Amino acid sequence: MTDISVDGADRGGLCAGRVVVVTGAGRGLGRAHALAFAAEGAHVVVNDLGVTLDGSPDGTEAGPADLVVAEIRALGGSAVAHGGDIATTAGAASLVAAALDTFGRLDTLVNNAGFLRDRMLVNLDEDEWDAVIRVHLKGHFLPLKHAAAHWRAETKAGRTPVARVVNTSSGAGLLGSVGQGNYSAAKAGIIGLTLVAAAELARYGVQVNAIAPAARTRMTERTFAGTMAAPGAGAFDAMAPDNVSPLVVWLGAAASDGVTGRVFETEAGRITVMEGWRPGPTVDKGARWTPAEAGEAARELLTRAEAPGAVYGAGD
């Protein structure tokens, strides 16, 4: 459990008075983010549909969102639960409405919800592809769309917000991951969505960034089996989800002014600014190539290009 005392509203924490929505906040990274925002004085809307690792209903009587809200309130914080499906128009709209109806404003959206249905490509069914693309990519787009519509309306009314969006990509979206074609494609798409949103929404006072985290959660325990065990008492738990949340809180705060359209890889005590696609070695013939000439030119360019990072699991 996060070691916090949620009295940020009294202490004037980094996010004091801000209203923050976190999707998929019932467990893992989302829960850690919700607790960390509350510790810095934010009012938190805790969204979670309450599903198993593959997206099926978990069958529990008390939803995970309600449990996190209870944790926050027990520590003196302010939170409300939302159990809607944010990959639907109605669910995403009600998520934004929950913030506005409960707290009267919306300042930060953290898109985090997701699940896995891992298969090698030749075994990956169409419904498994669609389900993962839906919850990760569409589940980022719809809350972002509805939050942005609110912030645009605020700007047009003369109340330009200090708004923040933090999206959740993955190393799988940056490099690819064997057995996770659907997940890797969705997470790569989230990076593209982040860049477009940062450019389009800047005029409305909105900053949009993404993280590519690594931590011990339900979604990673199978992928990294045997390498993410919790350490002994008193040792630094490098894979704890709580290690990712400080950067997310800062990106979601007014203090991150001027930072937008960026992707940060974060795990343990390490933060890395990821540098995306940019022109490398190039050659211009000034006329049309023949296929053979194009191939020869491409091979020569590759001798001068930086090698790509290894796809996760490619050596297994």
Catalytic residue, from 187, 204, 256, 312: name it: 187
Nearest CA to 241 out of 261, 263, 209, 211 is that of: 211
Q: How far apart are CA 132 and CA 295, in angstroms?
A: 36
Q: How far apart are CA 136 and CA 131, in angstroms?
A: 9
Residue 139, Cβ neighbours under 10 Å: how many? 28
Catalytic residue, from 94, 170, 177, 245: name it: 170
Catalytic residue, from 138, 183, 184, 312: name it: 183
Q: Is 187 a catalytic residue?
A: yes
Q: Is 177 a catalytic residue?
A: no
Q: Is 204 a catalytic residue?
A: no
* Residue 167 one-letter amino acid: N
Residues designated as active site: 170, 183, 187
